[in-house]
Every structure is written in structure tokens, then in C-alpha cells.
Structure 1
Amino acid sequence: MKKIILCAALGAATLNVHAFSQETHKRIVIDAVNYMAQNPSTTQYQKLANYAAANNMSVSALAQLLGQAAYDVDDFEDTFFCGAITGDCVQAPLWGAAESIVKYTSYWHFQNHTQGADIHGNDFGGYNYQELTVWGSVDSMAATWLKGDYLDDGHGGETGWFRADDTRYNSYGITEANYRIDSQSNYSMYDDFEEMPFQPIDNLGQYWYQKYLQSGNPQLLGFVFHTTDLLQPHHTWTTSDLNHASWESWVKDYYDQENLNNMQLVQDALESFDPLATNSQDIRPLLTQGGAFSYAQGGIVLNSKDHYDRLNTAKLVIPHAIAMVVHLLNHAMVAR
């Protein structure tokens, strides 16, 4: 299926960013569909097959499309920070590729379980440098580099010195507003990076799920599945550092070799989630369950590079990530 461009919310860049690696995101979704195919009597597989047919594709092709959409969320060009002095607005730091911060959009991909409710009124907030309880040099480097820089709020909004304004995208009026579900914001929260309280990733997932329910578009449903970042412990302990990038590379490298997608482990993981009510359109309770699991089980990978420490954690969080997608797919097939 031809990729759909959604009101300038998506971009065309292809660099990796910090989260589960993009390829891992895609594999998790494909494995969730494979699990459903292998277990049609206990999942909504037949409805999924009907959905694929209604979109003129095979189930295998649908799995690829959904997985690619989950992959693509890291490539969104929807978040620009602007220089406090120059007013120049960019979507990534110059040094980002070397430190795994390739796009600022990735700051929407956290749910901080080390803290309670945030200033917006969310049960768990997202990335907020001044509220971190664990951090490393990458977090501090970003906060130093971006000190005083502001979130692009479009023409006529915040500017640098002498009204310097090179706005590129109204990130506050579009991206933050999209993810402001059931919460509140004002622009003063976003005029200094080091104090920005980013919306959590479950709000991102809820936004795209609502768009799927309205349209039935499989690409929009695929965007929802980027929320498997909630099973990546760095995204619930909340840090851009502490072995963040090397852990994600390890998961990608050993995904098949260590059989991280073991279907028996996926079946066991399915039972640890409380399924969503069919008549509910709010998927965030399920997503938060995934975040609570990774926070409780995965902290060791922030401090250890030992293969078996990583393996023990991966055999917990990857099957749970696949199981979470199965639950979401089951719900998506009956919710419309």
C-alpha cells in the first residue's frame, strides 16, 4: 500500500532513533500477527483476515504494513526546537546521530514510572529533564545544548533575539495538541527545553487509535504499535542514556538467535494483561500495564551489559510487547 502522508505529521527521513530499534518495532508487530494466525480460536484472527481482505491485501501484507507503520513513527518530522538566541528551528541536534538522539520527536516516546502524575494531569508523565530520577551524559548534554531553546509554536509565536523567527512546524499547536488527550497545557511549559514536560507515549498511542477508529486506516493502527516502547525499560525508567542505545542494538542482534519471540512465552504474557473492554475506546490502561511491567522487571539493563542479564530481561519484555500488540489487535478488530 502506498504510504499515506498525514497533514505534514510524517516525514521522509530514514535515520534510526533511540527506542526499540525500528526493525525491532516492526518484528514485534509481525510476530503478534503470526501469533494470532497460529491461535485463531483464542484471538480475533478471522476478523483480522476479513480486515485485510477489506483492504485488498493478504494477512501477511497487512502485517508488513502495520509493522512498517510502527517503524515509521520514529521518522515523524513533527517536533522542532528553536534556538533561544537565533530563532533557528531544527528537528535534531547536530551531534544526535552519534548519541542516538536523531529526532526530537523521540521525546514523546516515554512514560515515566519513577514519578507519579505530571503537571498536565496525566497519571504518568513523559520525558522531563528536571524530573528525571536516573540520567546520564546524553540527557545532560541535550539539556545543556538546548538550554533555553523553545518548542516551535509557528508564525507569530515565540522568537529568538530581535524577533528572529525561523519557524518550521507548529509543534506546540499540532504535535503537542494531538497528544494532549484528557490533559492540559500552556505554552510556558515548552519555552525552555530543560523544563519541558513532554506528553507520555500512551497519549500518542491513544491519539492514533482514535484516528484509526474514525477511519479504519491500517497505517494509523500501525502507528499505535510504536507504543511497544513501553516495554523498553529505558522508556519507563526514562533516560536517553545508561546503555540505552547498546541495549536496543543487542535486542535487534539477538532477536532471532535467542528466540526472543518464543510463542509460548507470548501466550504466557497474554495472561498477565487485563484485556480492554470491547465497548471502551481508551487503550491507555492496557498500555500503562505494559509500562508498569517493564519498569518492574527491566531496570538491570540500565546498569549492566552482561549478555545473560540482557537475555533474562529480553525474554520478559519482548514477549510482553508482542502480547500487548495482540491485545490491541484483538480490540481493534471488534471496536469499530
Structure 2
Amino acid sequence: MKKILTSAIILLTSINQAHAFSQETHKRIVIDAVSYMEQNPQSTQYAALSQYALQNKMSVSQLAELLGQAAYDVDDFEDTFLCGAITGSCVQAPLWGAAESIVKYTSYWHFQNHTQGADQHGNDFGGYNYDKLTVWGTIDSLAAAWLKGDYLDDGKGRETGWFNADSSKYNSYDITEAHYRIDSQSNYNMYDDFEKIPFQPIDNLGQYWFQSYLDSGNPQVLGFVFHTTDLLQPHHTWTTSDLNHSSWEGWVKDYYDQEQLNDPSLIRQAINTFSPLDEASTDVRPLLTQGGSFSYAQGGIVLNSKDHYDRVDTAKQVIPHAIAMVVHLLNHAMVAR
């Protein structure tokens, strides 16, 4: 019993470590991107953004708050349930992990693995897949062992536990996975054992919500796209739930202002490193992958070092690039709508 409880505590810690950038940091990044546009109206689509805010009966600052909150909210989506291989009981997070702000299984859609090539869906870069990790830690391995054989909820009467046990809560395969299956292919056999599940990458999540924004014009939906700043979090492109994941997240939140991670001069430099999307394009994934490629190339040290100055050096690269990526996305959203 003691061993089981210890494992549960460790896994609870691991789920908290899967946050990537904290929700507060996600929100700050978006608000800072809007602020940068306001300060640089000649080189951004700030005028169109201001008009968009007016059309939605709010000020630009209110729009920034709404967009930032939506980016924050993606970690709280209740759209991904894993079901017990034996019990058939489907939950959105470990039953012992009911603590406030625990990250749900939905966070497994928030990776883009740059240590591997194309995945079995046909994406250029895959998402989280324990079986394909090239860097990992105890947390990754413990989760895979604890969830061994557990399957993605696919609705009532399909995959079940023993003796047809089935407490399906949400058809995550035919809804969530289908939404993120953009330009790729899936079959349910890919999702019937957690330790081998090839989750769709976060750029597909971003593309789904960007297309939904184009269809609806809804600013909250546009805000969901900006959770893709996870691509500037090195753990999400090297792909691991361990290796200082949680402490790095907390450090970024704690030192965001003190170390001036949103320095406008650094944002300006970062903006120039991205290749803007063609105005006629409705596919934002090439831009998102640029962000992921940058964090993979520049941020690996934070997986292995807790040194303050190593973290400052990395954060002063990835945070301005995250803000810059949102500026590019906002610019594109304003001309593409």
C-alpha cells in the first residue's frame, strides 16, 4: 500500500509538471503581444485589431484580456478522457489528482516532438508518444507504467474494460482527436494503449482553432490558438513531462517581470526571425513550427540545468519569441478574417 501511495504522489507531481508554461504565463504572453502591437502600430496590424475589438464591443485592453484568458483556459479543457484497461472507468485526470489547477490529460495534445521525424499519422512532427521519446525521466516512465493499457475514450459500447465495463464520459477519439487530425490519418488501434498512443501535435490544435476562428470570428476561439506558445517551451519540443519541467515553469512565472522577459527590444528582434505567413494562407502551422524549431534548437539546456543564469539566457530567447509568434498570428488573423 505504501508503494502504491508513493507512486500516486509522484504521478500527481508529474501531472502538475506537464503544464509547460504556466497558465498565467500563457496569458501574459498574449497581453504583451497586444501591447507590443499598440506600441508599434506602423509595423503591425494594430489598426485592424482595434477595429476588431470595436466590432466585438470592447476596448483593445479588454480584447487582450479575453484573448489571454482563452489561451490560459486551454489547459482546463474537459475534452480528453482515458479509460482503465480493466475497469473501463474513464477520467480526465488521475482520480487521486483532484487538487486545484491539476493539468488534465488534455495536456498530452500540447507537444511537437522535434527529436523525431514524421509520425504514423503523417504529420511532419508528431506529438507526445511515450514509445517514441528520445529524452524522458521517471515521470514519463511512471505515467506509462501506471496507465499501461489504458485507452482513449471512444464513446459507449466500443472499447471497454474487462467484462464489457464501460463508463464512457466523452468520445475523445471521435471529437477531440478528430478535430486535431488535420491533414493526417488515424485509426482507433493507435489509441488503445496509453504507452504507445501517438497524440496529435499542438500545431494541429492551433490550426483547428484558427480555422474555427475564421469560420466564426469569435475572439475567444482566436485566443485558444495562442496556447500554441507551448511550442516555445523547450520541454514541449524535446518532449518530456520530466527533466525540470515543473521548476522551469515556475521559474519563468516568478522571474517574468524581474528579468524583463518581455523586453520590447527583444520582441522586435524575435519578430524579424519569423517568416510571415502568406496573407492568402489559412494554414498557420508553418509559423507554429518555426517557433517549435527555435525552442528545440536554443532551449535544451533547461532540461538539465537549474542554474539561474542558464535559465535567464534561455528565457530571454524563448519568451520574446513566444510573444513575437503571437504578434505574427494576430497580424495574420486580422488580414485573413
Q: Does the TM-score normalized on the shorter chain lie above 0.5? A: yes
Matches within 5 A, 1:20-35: 20-35=21-36
For these two proteins, the number of residue pairs brought into alignment is 321
Which residue in 2 is equivalent to 1:266? 267
Q: Is contact 1:108–1:126 with CA below 8 Å preserved after alignment?
A: yes
Q: Is contact 2:151–2:192 with CA below 8 Å preserved after alignment?
A: yes
Counterpart Cα distance in 2 of 1:223 and 1:74: 10
Counterpart Cα distance in 2 of 1:80 and 1:94: 12
The alignment's TM-score, normalised by the length of structure 1, stands at: 0.94
TM superposition shift of 1:157: 1.2
Which residue in 1 is equivalent to 2:202? 201
SS class of match (2:259): coil
Which residue in 2 is equivalent to 1:137? 138
What letter corresponds to residue 76 of structure 1 in structure 2?
A: F
Instruction: List runs of 5+ in structure 2 lacking aligned partners.
Output: 1-14
Deviations 1:219-246 (A, max 9, x none): 0000000000000000000000000010
Q: Is contact 2:245–2:303 with CA below 8 Å preserved after alignment?
A: yes
Matched, 1:216 2:217: yes
What letter corresponds to residue 284 of structure 2 in structure 1?
A: I
Which residue in 2 is equivalent to 1:18? 19
Counterpart Cα distance in 1 of 2:309 and 2:95: 35
Counterpart Cα distance in 2 of 1:102 and 1:324: 24
Which residue in 1 is equivalent to 2:153? 152
TM superposition shift of 1:95: 5.0
RMSD: 1.3
Which residue in 1 is equivalent to 2:256? 255
Q: Is contact 1:73–1:226 with CA below 8 Å preserved after alignment?
A: yes
Q: Is contact 2:129–2:195 with CA below 8 Å preserved after alignment?
A: yes
Q: Is contact 2:270–2:320 with CA below 8 Å preserved after alignment?
A: yes
Matches within 5 A, 1:45-64: 45-64=46-65
Tell me the percent identity: 81
Q: Is contact 1:82–1:150 with CA below 8 Å preserved after alignment?
A: yes
What letter corresponds to residue 286 of structure 2 in structure 1?
A: P
CA shift in 2, pair 1:165/1:125, >3 Å: same
Matches within 5 A, 1:1-336: 18-96=19-97, 102-336=103-337
Counterpart Cα distance in 2 of 1:331 and 1:109: 22
Counterpart Cα distance in 1 of 2:69 and 2:244: 26
Counterpart Cα distance in 2 of 1:74 and 1:229: 11
Which residue in 2 is equivalent to 1:12? none
What letter corresponds to residue 172 of structure 1 in structure 2?
A: Y
Q: Is contact 1:269–1:323 with CA below 8 Å preserved after alignment?
A: yes
Deviations 1:53-110 (A, max 9, x none): 0000000000000000000000000000000000000111245578x96310000000
Counterpart Cα distance in 2 of 1:224 and 1:151: 24
Instruction: List runs of 5+ in structure 1 lacking aligned partners.
Output: 1-14
What letter corresponds to residue 182 of structure 1 in structure 2?
A: D
TM superposition shift of 1:122: 0.1
CA shift in 2, pair 1:97/1:253, >3 Å: farther
Counterpart Cα distance in 2 of 1:234 and 1:135: 10
Moved segments of 4+, more than 6 Å: none
SS class of match (1:304): coil
SS class of match (2:182): coil
Q: Is contact 2:75–2:103 with CA below 8 Å preserved after alignment?
A: no
CA shift in 2, pair 1:239/1:101, >3 Å: farther
SS class of match (1:222): helix
The alignment's TM-score, normalised by the length of structure 2, stands at: 0.94
Counterpart Cα distance in 1 of 2:179 and 2:52: 27
Counterpart Cα distance in 2 of 1:101 and 1:37: 34
